[in-house]
Amino acid sequence: MATPDLTLDSPATSAQLSHFSSPGLVRTTLHRSNLTEFHLTLTPHPNESAHSMTRRLQAELDAAQAVVLRHEVFGSLAWHHQLSWDWPVTWVEGADCSGNPVAGMHVLAVRGADVDSIVLNGQSVGRVFSDGYARHALLGNVHSDPQASLDVQGRQVFERLESALQLAGFAMTDVPRTWLFLDDILAWYGTLNRVRREFFEQRGLFDHLVPASTGVGVRNTARAAMIAGAWASQPLTNEFYLREVLSPMQCPASAYGSCFSRAVEMVAPDFRRVLVSGTASIEPKGASVCGGDMDGQIDLTMQVVRAILVSRGMDYHDVTRATAYIRHPSDAPLFQGWCQRLGLQNWPLVVTQAVVCRDELWFEIELDAIAPTHHHATDWDL
């Protein structure tokens, strides 16, 4: 049974949020004065094909008269070449923990705004639009040369992200969020951190804002060592700004050599968006905890991400997109049971198999949340 639209609005703003869920679909619609955003999460019906999921997505887009800005697919690489879209798609081998060909997909789309494409070396890798407060560039499917060495491939991805942004008039210092999907992550995550740090230092990111980020181990359609996405934002008014959000329960990632922010907040006059990095079971001093204890890892990780949200006046009910990365598919029911106990069965969630950046960690989650700028977290029954 579908859950009807529920609307949150603030009299001090012109933004409204409506939420809808039905089997296989969760949709959050952000109604603004000059445009409408659609945050879609699609998961498979029992034994549903990737083609059927694609048709369902297209029906949603057609009904909304919306243009896709960003599209992630977690599923079998064998299906990638059987499907095609007119926009950039980041497709990674995020296996479904229940045996379906596709674990799920997240889509951000917009109606009422002019959308331009970014084409790099003949490949569509991004979309650009303005919401009136800032220009935004959303990049995806940016990958390295599979024939190069690992350190060269790591550098290539950041250079190609930068080149794509420059085509649209952006710089790396405009980036508050990155997504890094690494093939064989445990073999070269240390190399990636070194390359990333060097690149960020050369581009001056440590003097601006270090992006929030996700880094997990999954294969990709290019058979490259890494495929990436990014979000860049340029203020059009001083009413829009970006800021780092610290984790109340963890140290900064920089304390143990990783260069990413725990979360970043985008603030506009009408709404705030919090982008939470990939988060795992790491204690305040940076050490892994609950090794070998999947329930313990889930519990601590979810406490950490909730503390970040609550620090910004939000909670689980404000989440518009979430991806849970699980090392062993047999552990997926543990997380699903956790969600059921908290009443989050209708979360905009994709659960997929992936390798976390530390061998002893079996669970990681990343998420986005949105609330009107003057909205305070309240109880909302998903």
Residue 270's region, left for phi above 0, alpha for psi from -120 to 50, else beta, is alpha
Token couple for 161: 């992200």
Contacts 24+ apart (CB under 8 A), 254-257: 254/210, 255/285, 255/286, 256/286, 257/193, 257/197
Three-class SS state of 286? coil
For tokens 């879609």, what's the residue? 40
Give residue 11's pLDDT.
34
Give residue 298's pLDDT.
96
Which has the closest alpha carbon to 180: 153, 198, 146?
153
d(CA 236, CA 259): 27
| Mean pLDDT of all residues belonging to the chain | 91
Give residue 378's pLDDT.
39
What number is the average pLDDT over the span 34-55? Answer: 94
> How much is the pTM?
0.93
Give residue 96's pLDDT.
84
Percent above pLDDT 90 for the chain? 81
Give residue 370's pLDDT.
97
Q: Which domains does the chain have, with CATH numbers?
A: 3-372 (3.30.1330.40)
Summarize pLDDT for 2-31 with one digit per residue, the tens. Answer: 544 444 443 334 469 999 999 999 999 999
For tokens 């940016």, what's the residue? 142
d(CA 251, CA 130): 34
Q: Provide the pairing of β-strand 212-217 with 177-182.
A: parallel
What number is the average pLDDT over the span 158-185? Answer: 98
- pLDDT exceeds cutoff 70 at 366: yes
Summarize pLDDT for 287-343 with one digit per residue, the tens. Answer: 999 989 999 999 999 999 999 999 999 999 999 999 999 999 999 999 999 999 988
- pLDDT exceeds cutoff 50 at 235: yes
Summarize pLDDT for 85-116 with one digit per residue, the tens. Answer: 889 999 999 878 888 889 999 999 999 999 99
Give residue 84's pLDDT.
82
